[in-house]
């Protein structure tokens, strides 16, 4: 039915239109499982100590529409700092939807220099002995001479999604099947030192995500 690049774009547009229409018109109260607030995530993680960054201003909060979030920088002597943002949405029915970080970066002066995906092996819970692969977004951004490595993904129920479009499709499917449209955006940023390659920042970001991921199950309900 849909062929070629134009067909795929049309298919995605139709899916997003159906998603928007369903989420807007559905009035049945959603069922949200119990969860811990994001603020209770450990301030010590992967050998680093977290520092809470300034709260978002009311206008930014109104733009994001997020219900629960943390914005921290994790610091450890002799290692690159790690910026962590998690935004959790209780419901996406009334127009409050997750925004891709790529939509916000240009407004802050950051330009995507490289865009792709990477696959990491993570434990799903602290007590898990094995690992599972997750595919997430990997972006290098630049502003002037500064560069940063960004990992980000969308997470809902027991699902990790790199694609913003598939995230929206899964949202409407979950709303139909489970009467839920809650989801989260997780973003990890590590600076790339001037004149160096991306090996050290990537190692740091990967280790941080692997330490963080098992803890998310208590805050992003399955």
User: 71 or 32: which carries more pLDDT confidence?
Assistant: 71
Of the spans 58-67, 101-110, 185-194, which averages the highest pLDDT?
A: 185-194
pTM: 0.86
Strand partners, 153: 186
Question: Is residue 105 classed as helix, strand or coil in its secondary structure?
Answer: coil
Strand duo 159-161 + 44-45: pairing: unpaired
Confidence of residue 36 (pLDDT cuts 50, 70, 90): very high
DSSP E strands, the chain? 44-45, 48-52, 68-75, 82-89, 111-122, 132-143, 146-156, 159-161, 183-192
Q: Is the model's pLDDT at 2 over the cut of 80? A: no
Q: Is the model's pLDDT at 168 over the cut of 80? A: yes
pLDDT at 8: 52
Q: Is the model's pLDDT at 19 over the cut of 70? A: no
- How far apart CA 156 and CA 221 sit, in angstroms, is 7
Cα–Cα nearest to 30, from 154, 172, 183, 178: 178
Q: Is the model's pLDDT at 12 over the cut of 70? A: no
Residue 144 CA, chain-centre distance (Å), reads 25
What is the rounded average pLDDT of the residues 74-88? 97
The region that residue 157 occupies, defined by phi over 0 for left and psi between -120 and 50 for alpha, beta otherwise, is: left
Size of the chain in residues: 222
Strand partners, 149: 140, 190
Q: Is the model's pLDDT at 29 over the cut of 70? A: yes
Planar angle of CA 164, 202, 70, nearest 5 degrees: 55
What is the rounded average pLDDT of the residues 82-109? 85
Confidence of residue 5 (pLDDT cuts 50, 70, 90): low
Confidence of residue 1 (pLDDT cuts 50, 70, 90): very low
């Amino acid at each position: 039915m849909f062929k070629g690049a134009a067909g795929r774009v049309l298919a995605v547009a139709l899916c997003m239109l159906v998603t928007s229409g369903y989420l807007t018109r559905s009035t049945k109260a959603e069922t949200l499982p119990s969860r811990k607030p994001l603020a209770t995530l450990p301030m010590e993680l992967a050998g680093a100590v977290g520092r809470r960054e300034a709260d978002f201003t009311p206008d930014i909060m109104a733009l994001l529409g997020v219900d629960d979030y943390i914005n921290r920088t994790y610091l450890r002597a002799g290692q690159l700092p790690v910026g962590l943002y998690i935004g959790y949405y209780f419901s996406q029915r009334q127009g409050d939807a997750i925004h891709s970080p790529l939509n916000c970066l240009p407004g802050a002066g950051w330009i995507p220099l490289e865009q792709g995906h990477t696959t990491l092996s993570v434990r799903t819970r602290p007590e898990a002995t094995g690992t599972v692969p997750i595919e997430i977004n990997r972006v290098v951004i630049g502003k002037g001479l500064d560069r940063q490595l960004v990992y980000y993904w969308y997470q809902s129920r027991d699902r990790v999604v790199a694609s913003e479009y598939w995230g929206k499709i899964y949202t409407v499917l979950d709303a139909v099947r489970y009467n839920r449209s809650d989801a989260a955006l997780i973003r990890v940023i590590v600076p790339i030192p001037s004149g160096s390659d991306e090996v050290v920042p990537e190692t740091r970001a990967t280790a941080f995500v692997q330490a963080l991921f098992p803890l998310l199950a208590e805050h992003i309900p399955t």
